[in-house]
Amino acid sequence: MPEVIQNWDESALVWIAEHLRNPVLTPILSFYTQLGNHGLLFIVLAALMLLFRATRKAGAAAGAGMFLGLLVTNLTIKPLVMRPRPWITIPGFTALVAEHDPNSFPSGHSCCAFAFAMALAMVLPQRWAKALALAAAAVMALSRLYVGVHFPTDVIAGTVIGALCGLLGALIVRAVTRRYAAWKNEKRAQ
Domain ranges within the chain, ordered by starting residue: 25-178
pLDDT-derived band of residue 186, with 50, 70 and 90 as boundaries? Answer: confident
What burial class does residue 178 get, using C-beta atoms within 10 Å of its C-beta: 0-12 exposed, 13-18 middle, 19+ buried?
exposed
Q: Calculate what percentage of the chain has a pLDDT beyond 90.
A: 87
Q: What is the 3-state secondary structure (H, E, C) of 9-51?
A: HHHHHHHHHHHCCCCCHHHHHHHHHHHCHHHHHHHHHHHHHHC
How high is the pLDDT of residue 67?
A: 97
pLDDT of res. 41 = 94
**Confidence class for position 68, pLDDT limits 50, 70, 90:** very high
Sequence length of the chain is: 190
The DSSP symbol for 147 reads: T
* pLDDT score recorded for residue 170: 97
pLDDT at 10: 94
Contact indicator for 152, 9 with CB cutoff of 8 Å: yes
Contact 117, 6 (CB under 8 A): no
What pTM was estimated for this model as a whole? Answer: 0.92
Q: With beta carbons less than 8 A apart as the criterion, state whether 149 and 86 touch.
A: yes
Q: Which fold has domain 25-178?
A: Vanadium-containing Chloroperoxidase; domain 2 (1.10.606)
